[in-house]
Structure 1
Amino acid sequence: MIRILLADDEAMIRAGVRAILESDPELEVVAEAGDGRQAVDLAISHHPDVALLDIRMPRLDGLAAAAELRRAAPGTAVVMLTTFGEDDYIAKALDIGASGFLLKSGDPRELIAGIHAVAGGAAYLSPKVAQRVIAQLSGGRMARGAVARDRISGLTEREREVLALLGAGMSNAEIARELHIVEGTVKAYVSAILTRLDVRNRVQAAIIAHEAGLVA
Protein backbone atom coordinates (compact mmCIF):
# COMPACT_ATOMS: atom_id res chain seq x y z
CA MET A 1 0.00 0.00 0.00
CA ILE A 2 1.30 3.46 -0.95
CA ARG A 3 0.55 5.99 1.80
CA ILE A 4 -0.12 9.55 0.62
CA LEU A 5 -0.32 12.97 2.24
CA LEU A 6 -2.59 15.30 0.24
CA ALA A 7 -2.22 19.07 0.70
CA ASP A 8 -4.42 21.68 -0.98
CA ASP A 9 -6.15 24.72 0.47
CA GLU A 10 -9.40 23.95 -1.39
CA ALA A 11 -11.49 21.23 0.26
CA MET A 12 -13.34 20.38 -2.96
CA ILE A 13 -10.07 19.89 -4.82
CA ARG A 14 -8.81 17.61 -2.06
CA ALA A 15 -12.02 15.58 -2.21
CA GLY A 16 -11.74 15.17 -5.98
CA VAL A 17 -8.05 14.23 -5.91
CA ARG A 18 -8.63 11.84 -3.02
CA ALA A 19 -11.43 10.11 -4.95
CA ILE A 20 -9.12 9.65 -7.94
CA LEU A 21 -6.26 8.32 -5.85
CA GLU A 22 -8.38 5.90 -3.83
CA SER A 23 -9.95 4.47 -6.97
CA ASP A 24 -6.67 2.55 -7.06
CA PRO A 25 -6.69 -0.12 -4.32
CA GLU A 26 -2.93 0.26 -3.86
CA LEU A 27 -3.18 3.94 -2.88
CA GLU A 28 -4.31 5.30 0.48
CA VAL A 29 -4.60 8.94 1.57
CA VAL A 30 -3.51 8.86 5.21
CA ALA A 31 -3.64 12.60 5.92
CA GLU A 32 -4.96 15.85 4.42
CA ALA A 33 -3.68 19.37 4.94
CA GLY A 34 -5.17 22.73 4.05
CA ASP A 35 -1.91 24.68 4.14
CA GLY A 36 1.79 24.12 3.76
CA ARG A 37 2.69 24.33 7.44
CA GLN A 38 0.12 21.69 8.35
CA ALA A 39 1.42 19.53 5.49
CA VAL A 40 4.94 19.54 6.93
CA ASP A 41 3.68 18.72 10.43
CA LEU A 42 1.51 15.85 9.16
CA ALA A 43 4.32 14.44 7.05
CA ILE A 44 6.58 14.32 10.09
CA SER A 45 3.92 12.58 12.20
CA HIS A 46 2.46 10.20 9.58
CA HIS A 47 5.57 9.31 7.55
CA PRO A 48 3.74 9.00 4.19
CA ASP A 49 5.48 7.49 1.18
CA VAL A 50 4.46 10.42 -1.01
CA ALA A 51 3.43 14.01 -0.27
CA LEU A 52 1.21 15.51 -2.98
CA LEU A 53 1.43 19.28 -2.56
CA ASP A 54 -0.42 22.12 -4.25
CA ILE A 55 1.96 24.95 -5.10
CA ARG A 56 -0.17 27.87 -3.92
CA MET A 57 -1.23 27.43 -0.29
CA PRO A 58 -1.50 29.78 2.71
CA ARG A 59 0.96 30.04 5.61
CA LEU A 60 3.62 28.11 3.68
CA ASP A 61 3.35 27.66 -0.08
CA GLY A 62 3.92 24.28 -1.71
CA LEU A 63 7.45 25.04 -2.84
CA ALA A 64 8.54 26.17 0.62
CA ALA A 65 6.75 23.20 2.19
CA ALA A 66 8.49 20.84 -0.23
CA ALA A 67 11.89 22.28 0.62
CA GLU A 68 11.20 21.87 4.34
CA LEU A 69 9.88 18.34 3.81
CA ARG A 70 13.05 17.29 2.02
CA ARG A 71 14.97 18.26 5.16
CA ALA A 72 12.54 17.12 7.86
CA ALA A 73 11.13 13.98 6.21
CA PRO A 74 13.66 12.80 3.60
CA GLY A 75 11.93 9.43 3.31
CA THR A 76 8.83 11.08 1.85
CA ALA A 77 8.89 11.70 -1.89
CA VAL A 78 7.39 15.02 -2.99
CA VAL A 79 5.09 15.54 -5.96
CA MET A 80 3.89 19.02 -6.87
CA LEU A 81 0.30 19.40 -8.10
CA THR A 82 -0.80 22.68 -9.64
CA THR A 83 -2.96 24.40 -12.21
CA PHE A 84 0.04 26.46 -13.26
CA GLY A 85 2.51 25.32 -15.91
CA GLU A 86 4.91 28.26 -15.92
CA ASP A 87 8.54 27.39 -16.39
CA ASP A 88 9.68 29.10 -13.20
CA TYR A 89 7.46 26.87 -11.06
CA ILE A 90 8.81 23.78 -12.81
CA ALA A 91 12.42 24.86 -12.35
CA LYS A 92 11.94 25.71 -8.68
CA ALA A 93 10.11 22.45 -7.95
CA LEU A 94 12.88 20.38 -9.50
CA ASP A 95 15.61 22.43 -7.84
CA ILE A 96 14.26 21.86 -4.34
CA GLY A 97 14.20 18.10 -4.88
CA ALA A 98 10.63 17.32 -5.95
CA SER A 99 10.37 13.91 -7.63
CA GLY A 100 7.29 14.73 -9.68
CA PHE A 101 5.32 17.60 -11.16
CA LEU A 102 1.69 17.14 -12.23
CA LEU A 103 -0.94 19.51 -13.56
CA LYS A 104 -4.47 19.47 -12.15
CA SER A 105 -5.76 19.79 -15.69
CA GLY A 106 -4.08 16.50 -16.68
CA ASP A 107 -5.59 13.09 -17.15
CA PRO A 108 -6.49 11.42 -13.81
CA ARG A 109 -4.52 8.40 -15.00
CA GLU A 110 -1.40 10.59 -14.99
CA LEU A 111 -1.97 11.33 -11.31
CA ILE A 112 -2.15 7.65 -10.40
CA ALA A 113 0.78 6.74 -12.65
CA GLY A 114 2.86 9.56 -11.20
CA ILE A 115 2.26 8.48 -7.61
CA HIS A 116 3.19 4.88 -8.41
CA ALA A 117 6.33 5.97 -10.26
CA VAL A 118 7.58 8.25 -7.50
CA ALA A 119 6.75 5.75 -4.76
CA GLY A 120 8.79 3.19 -6.71
CA GLY A 121 11.83 5.43 -6.67
CA ALA A 122 11.45 6.92 -10.14
CA ALA A 123 10.72 10.50 -11.17
CA TYR A 124 7.58 11.57 -13.03
CA LEU A 125 6.70 14.67 -15.01
CA SER A 126 3.32 15.09 -16.66
CA PRO A 127 3.64 15.07 -20.48
CA LYS A 128 3.02 18.83 -20.72
CA VAL A 129 5.68 19.54 -18.12
CA ALA A 130 8.12 17.17 -19.82
CA GLN A 131 7.61 19.05 -23.09
CA ARG A 132 8.56 22.30 -21.38
CA VAL A 133 11.67 20.78 -19.83
CA ILE A 134 12.75 19.33 -23.17
CA ALA A 135 12.17 22.69 -24.85
CA GLN A 136 14.37 24.37 -22.26
CA LEU A 137 17.10 21.82 -22.87
CA SER A 138 17.02 22.14 -26.66
CA GLY A 139 18.87 25.46 -26.76
CA GLY A 140 22.63 25.30 -26.25
CA ARG A 141 22.55 21.50 -26.25
CA MET A 142 26.12 21.07 -27.54
CA ALA A 143 27.63 23.20 -24.77
CA ARG A 144 25.60 21.46 -22.08
CA GLY A 145 26.49 18.08 -23.58
CA ALA A 146 30.18 18.79 -23.14
CA VAL A 147 29.64 19.85 -19.54
CA ALA A 148 27.50 16.79 -18.83
CA ARG A 149 30.05 14.42 -20.33
CA ASP A 150 32.71 15.97 -18.14
CA ARG A 151 30.49 15.55 -15.06
CA ILE A 152 29.95 11.82 -15.68
CA SER A 153 33.60 11.16 -16.46
CA GLY A 154 34.26 10.31 -12.82
CA LEU A 155 31.57 7.63 -12.68
CA THR A 156 32.40 3.94 -12.87
CA GLU A 157 31.12 1.87 -15.79
CA ARG A 158 28.40 0.35 -13.60
CA GLU A 159 27.35 3.76 -12.31
CA ARG A 160 27.00 4.95 -15.90
CA GLU A 161 24.81 1.95 -16.66
CA VAL A 162 22.59 2.77 -13.68
CA LEU A 163 22.48 6.46 -14.65
CA ALA A 164 21.45 5.59 -18.21
CA LEU A 165 18.58 3.43 -16.99
CA LEU A 166 17.58 6.07 -14.45
CA GLY A 167 17.57 8.60 -17.27
CA ALA A 168 15.28 6.30 -19.24
CA GLY A 169 12.74 6.61 -16.44
CA MET A 170 13.22 3.26 -14.76
CA SER A 171 12.50 2.74 -11.06
CA ASN A 172 15.03 1.11 -8.75
CA ALA A 173 13.20 -2.21 -9.02
CA GLU A 174 13.23 -2.06 -12.83
CA ILE A 175 16.94 -1.20 -12.89
CA ALA A 176 17.65 -4.11 -10.55
CA ARG A 177 15.85 -6.52 -12.87
CA GLU A 178 17.59 -5.11 -15.94
CA LEU A 179 21.08 -5.42 -14.42
CA HIS A 180 20.37 -8.63 -12.47
CA ILE A 181 21.29 -7.12 -9.11
CA VAL A 182 19.32 -6.56 -5.91
CA GLU A 183 17.31 -3.39 -5.40
CA GLY A 184 19.36 -2.39 -2.36
CA THR A 185 22.48 -2.31 -4.52
CA VAL A 186 20.70 -0.06 -7.02
CA LYS A 187 19.75 2.34 -4.23
CA ALA A 188 23.40 2.50 -3.18
CA TYR A 189 24.48 3.20 -6.77
CA VAL A 190 21.84 5.92 -7.17
CA SER A 191 22.91 7.58 -3.92
CA ALA A 192 26.55 7.52 -5.03
CA ILE A 193 25.64 8.92 -8.45
CA LEU A 194 23.68 11.83 -6.96
CA THR A 195 26.63 12.62 -4.70
CA ARG A 196 29.23 12.39 -7.48
CA LEU A 197 27.16 14.53 -9.85
CA ASP A 198 26.31 16.97 -7.03
CA VAL A 199 22.59 16.91 -7.80
CA ARG A 200 19.64 16.74 -5.43
CA ASN A 201 17.34 14.26 -7.10
CA ARG A 202 16.74 11.73 -9.86
CA VAL A 203 15.21 14.29 -12.21
CA GLN A 204 18.39 16.38 -12.26
CA ALA A 205 20.48 13.22 -12.71
CA ALA A 206 18.23 12.11 -15.57
CA ILE A 207 18.70 15.45 -17.33
CA ILE A 208 22.48 15.03 -17.12
CA ALA A 209 22.14 11.49 -18.51
CA HIS A 210 20.25 12.86 -21.51
CA GLU A 211 22.64 15.78 -22.05
CA ALA A 212 25.66 13.43 -21.86
CA GLY A 213 24.15 11.16 -24.49
CA LEU A 214 23.61 8.17 -22.23
CA VAL A 215 19.93 8.12 -23.19
CA ALA A 216 18.66 8.46 -26.75
Structure 2
Amino acid sequence: RFSNVSVLNYKWGFFGKGQIVNKSLNSVDVGVCFDLSPVFASCTFNHISLTKPLSTLRNTACCFCVSTEEKRNILQESARIARGDVADMAKLDVSAFDAVIIPGGFGVAKNLSDWAVKNKDCTVLPQLEKIIKAFHKAGKPLGMCCISPILAVKLLPGCEVTVGQDEECEKFPYAKTAGVLKEMGCKHVNKDVGEAHVDVKNKLVTTCAFMCNASFHQIFDGIGVLVKETLILA
Protein backbone atom coordinates (compact mmCIF):
# COMPACT_ATOMS: atom_id res chain seq x y z
CA ARG A 1 0.00 0.00 0.00
CA PHE A 2 1.30 3.44 -0.96
CA SER A 3 1.74 5.67 2.09
CA ASN A 4 2.00 9.44 2.52
CA VAL A 5 4.42 10.51 5.22
CA SER A 6 4.88 13.98 6.65
CA VAL A 7 8.48 14.84 7.59
CA LEU A 8 8.76 17.72 10.05
CA ASN A 9 11.90 19.76 9.52
CA TYR A 10 13.29 22.90 11.06
CA LYS A 11 16.50 24.24 9.55
CA TRP A 12 18.69 21.20 9.07
CA GLY A 13 22.04 21.68 10.73
CA PHE A 14 24.61 19.89 12.81
CA PHE A 15 23.51 16.27 13.36
CA GLY A 16 20.43 16.84 11.17
CA LYS A 17 18.88 13.69 9.68
CA GLY A 18 16.37 15.07 7.19
CA GLN A 19 18.17 14.07 4.00
CA ILE A 20 18.74 10.51 5.24
CA VAL A 21 15.07 10.14 6.16
CA ASN A 22 14.06 11.45 2.74
CA LYS A 23 16.36 8.97 0.98
CA SER A 24 15.02 6.08 3.07
CA LEU A 25 11.42 7.00 2.28
CA ASN A 26 12.09 7.45 -1.42
CA SER A 27 13.77 4.05 -1.61
CA VAL A 28 10.49 2.37 -0.62
CA ASP A 29 8.32 4.52 -2.92
CA VAL A 30 6.56 6.58 -0.28
CA GLY A 31 5.00 10.00 -0.84
CA VAL A 32 6.81 12.64 1.22
CA CYS A 33 5.72 16.12 2.24
CA PHE A 34 8.02 18.37 4.25
CA ASP A 35 6.14 20.44 6.82
CA LEU A 36 8.24 23.26 8.16
CA SER A 37 8.00 26.20 10.49
CA PRO A 38 8.42 29.76 9.16
CA VAL A 39 9.77 31.10 12.46
CA PHE A 40 13.35 32.25 12.89
CA ALA A 41 15.94 29.95 14.38
CA SER A 42 16.61 30.66 18.06
CA CYS A 43 20.31 30.14 17.48
CA THR A 44 22.48 29.85 14.38
CA PHE A 45 26.10 28.94 13.96
CA ASN A 46 28.86 28.82 11.42
CA HIS A 47 29.83 25.20 10.78
CA ILE A 48 33.38 26.25 9.90
CA SER A 49 33.93 27.92 13.27
CA LEU A 50 32.12 25.23 15.26
CA THR A 51 34.70 23.88 17.71
CA LYS A 52 34.64 20.65 19.68
CA PRO A 53 30.85 20.29 20.08
CA LEU A 54 31.19 16.57 20.79
CA SER A 55 33.28 17.02 23.93
CA THR A 56 30.76 19.53 25.22
CA LEU A 57 27.85 17.20 24.56
CA ARG A 58 29.60 14.39 26.39
CA ASN A 59 29.56 16.45 29.57
CA THR A 60 25.91 17.46 29.40
CA ALA A 61 22.58 16.00 28.43
CA CYS A 62 21.75 18.98 26.26
CA CYS A 63 22.97 20.46 22.99
CA PHE A 64 25.58 23.12 22.34
CA CYS A 65 26.59 25.32 19.46
CA VAL A 66 28.74 28.32 18.67
CA SER A 67 26.21 31.05 18.05
CA THR A 68 26.31 33.78 15.44
CA GLU A 69 24.18 36.91 15.19
CA GLU A 70 22.80 35.85 11.82
CA LYS A 71 19.03 35.28 11.64
CA ARG A 72 17.71 32.48 9.46
CA ASN A 73 14.14 31.62 8.54
CA ILE A 74 13.58 27.95 9.34
CA LEU A 75 11.10 27.40 6.52
CA GLN A 76 13.42 28.90 3.91
CA GLU A 77 16.51 27.09 5.17
CA SER A 78 14.81 23.70 5.27
CA ALA A 79 13.17 24.12 1.87
CA ARG A 80 16.57 24.89 0.39
CA ILE A 81 17.70 21.35 1.16
CA ALA A 82 14.38 19.47 0.97
CA ARG A 83 13.84 20.20 -2.74
CA GLY A 84 10.37 18.68 -2.48
CA ASP A 85 6.83 19.65 -1.55
CA VAL A 86 7.10 21.92 1.47
CA ALA A 87 4.46 23.60 3.59
CA ASP A 88 4.03 25.58 6.78
CA MET A 89 3.69 23.20 9.73
CA ALA A 90 0.65 25.15 10.92
CA LYS A 91 -1.23 24.03 7.80
CA LEU A 92 -0.56 20.31 8.27
CA ASP A 93 -3.70 18.21 7.83
CA VAL A 94 -3.27 15.04 9.88
CA SER A 95 -5.99 13.28 7.89
CA ALA A 96 -3.90 13.60 4.72
CA PHE A 97 -0.99 11.55 6.08
CA ASP A 98 -0.45 8.00 7.27
CA ALA A 99 2.51 8.82 9.52
CA VAL A 100 4.86 11.58 10.63
CA ILE A 101 8.64 11.42 11.05
CA ILE A 102 10.75 13.93 12.97
CA PRO A 103 14.43 13.55 11.99
CA GLY A 104 16.20 15.10 15.00
CA GLY A 105 19.38 17.15 15.25
CA PHE A 106 20.08 20.47 16.97
CA GLY A 107 16.90 21.92 15.46
CA VAL A 108 14.81 19.86 17.89
CA ALA A 109 16.70 21.07 20.94
CA LYS A 110 16.99 24.68 19.81
CA ASN A 111 13.99 25.47 17.59
CA LEU A 112 11.24 22.91 18.19
CA SER A 113 11.77 22.97 21.94
CA ASP A 114 13.96 24.65 24.55
CA TRP A 115 15.56 21.36 25.61
CA ALA A 116 19.03 22.83 25.06
CA VAL A 117 18.39 25.32 27.85
CA LYS A 118 15.88 23.63 30.17
CA ASN A 119 16.45 19.90 29.67
CA LYS A 120 13.69 17.90 31.41
CA ASP A 121 11.79 21.12 32.18
CA CYS A 122 11.60 22.00 28.50
CA THR A 123 8.52 23.04 26.57
CA VAL A 124 7.64 22.07 22.99
CA LEU A 125 6.75 24.49 20.20
CA PRO A 126 2.93 24.76 20.57
CA GLN A 127 2.10 24.03 16.92
CA LEU A 128 4.34 20.95 16.99
CA GLU A 129 2.80 19.77 20.26
CA LYS A 130 -0.60 20.00 18.59
CA ILE A 131 0.59 17.93 15.61
CA ILE A 132 2.21 15.18 17.67
CA LYS A 133 -0.85 14.82 19.89
CA ALA A 134 -3.16 14.82 16.86
CA PHE A 135 -1.26 11.99 15.13
CA HIS A 136 -1.19 10.06 18.40
CA LYS A 137 -4.92 10.56 19.00
CA ALA A 138 -5.65 9.43 15.44
CA GLY A 139 -3.68 6.23 16.02
CA LYS A 140 -1.14 7.13 13.34
CA PRO A 141 2.54 6.22 13.82
CA LEU A 142 5.27 8.63 14.79
CA GLY A 143 8.93 8.11 13.93
CA MET A 144 11.60 10.04 15.82
CA CYS A 145 15.38 10.00 15.34
CA CYS A 146 18.34 11.12 17.40
CA ILE A 147 17.32 13.66 20.07
CA SER A 148 13.73 14.06 18.85
CA PRO A 149 12.37 11.29 21.15
CA ILE A 150 12.51 13.94 23.89
CA LEU A 151 9.39 15.38 22.25
CA ALA A 152 7.50 12.12 22.70
CA VAL A 153 8.68 11.74 26.28
CA LYS A 154 7.46 15.24 27.06
CA LEU A 155 4.08 14.88 25.35
CA LEU A 156 3.22 11.17 25.66
CA PRO A 157 3.63 10.20 29.33
CA GLY A 158 4.95 6.70 29.95
CA CYS A 159 6.00 6.07 26.35
CA GLU A 160 8.93 3.84 25.36
CA VAL A 161 11.88 5.32 23.45
CA THR A 162 15.53 4.82 22.67
CA VAL A 163 18.32 7.34 22.30
CA GLY A 164 20.92 4.57 22.22
CA GLN A 165 22.45 3.31 25.45
CA ASP A 166 22.15 4.49 29.04
CA GLU A 167 25.79 3.84 29.98
CA GLU A 168 28.30 6.37 28.69
CA CYS A 169 31.16 5.09 26.57
CA GLU A 170 33.14 6.16 23.51
CA LYS A 171 30.47 4.78 21.20
CA PHE A 172 27.58 6.35 23.12
CA PRO A 173 28.93 9.65 24.48
CA TYR A 174 25.48 11.15 25.14
CA ALA A 175 24.12 8.40 27.37
CA LYS A 176 23.25 10.92 30.08
CA THR A 177 20.27 11.89 27.95
CA ALA A 178 18.72 8.46 28.56
CA GLY A 179 18.92 9.08 32.30
CA VAL A 180 17.15 12.41 31.97
CA LEU A 181 14.40 10.83 29.88
CA LYS A 182 13.89 8.17 32.54
CA GLU A 183 13.51 10.94 35.13
CA MET A 184 10.78 12.40 32.90
CA GLY A 185 8.82 9.16 33.22
CA CYS A 186 9.52 7.20 30.05
CA LYS A 187 10.85 3.69 29.62
CA HIS A 188 14.22 3.87 27.88
CA VAL A 189 15.20 0.79 25.87
CA ASN A 190 18.87 0.30 25.02
CA LYS A 191 19.42 -0.17 21.29
CA ASP A 192 22.40 -0.13 18.95
CA VAL A 193 22.76 2.35 16.11
CA GLY A 194 21.41 -0.06 13.49
CA GLU A 195 18.26 -0.78 15.48
CA ALA A 196 15.00 0.97 16.27
CA HIS A 197 12.61 0.50 19.17
CA VAL A 198 8.89 0.11 18.53
CA ASP A 199 6.47 1.22 21.22
CA VAL A 200 3.47 -0.70 19.90
CA LYS A 201 0.97 0.84 22.32
CA ASN A 202 1.79 4.39 21.27
CA LYS A 203 2.74 3.56 17.67
CA LEU A 204 6.05 5.29 18.31
CA VAL A 205 9.30 4.26 16.59
CA THR A 206 12.66 5.68 17.68
CA THR A 207 16.32 5.23 16.76
CA CYS A 208 19.46 6.84 18.18
CA ALA A 209 21.13 8.01 14.94
CA PHE A 210 23.87 10.53 15.83
CA MET A 211 23.37 10.04 19.56
CA CYS A 212 25.80 7.25 18.72
CA ASN A 213 29.36 7.90 17.60
CA ALA A 214 28.95 6.00 14.35
CA SER A 215 29.61 6.30 10.64
CA PHE A 216 27.09 7.71 8.19
CA HIS A 217 26.30 4.34 6.65
CA GLN A 218 25.46 2.95 10.09
CA ILE A 219 23.24 5.95 10.80
CA PHE A 220 21.58 5.42 7.42
CA ASP A 221 20.89 1.77 8.21
CA GLY A 222 19.33 2.60 11.57
CA ILE A 223 17.08 5.27 10.10
CA GLY A 224 16.13 2.82 7.37
CA VAL A 225 14.92 0.42 10.07
CA LEU A 226 12.94 3.25 11.68
CA VAL A 227 11.28 4.12 8.37
CA LYS A 228 10.43 0.46 7.72
CA GLU A 229 8.93 -0.06 11.18
CA THR A 230 6.99 3.20 10.98
CA LEU A 231 5.45 2.18 7.66
CA ILE A 232 4.51 -1.24 9.05
CA LEU A 233 2.44 0.55 11.69
CA ALA A 234 0.82 2.88 9.13
TM-score bracket, shorter-length normalisation: 0.3 to 0.5
Higher helix share: 1
**Structure with greater Cα Rg:** 1
Normalising to structure 2: TM-score of the pair? 0.38
TM-score (norm. length: structure 1): 0.41
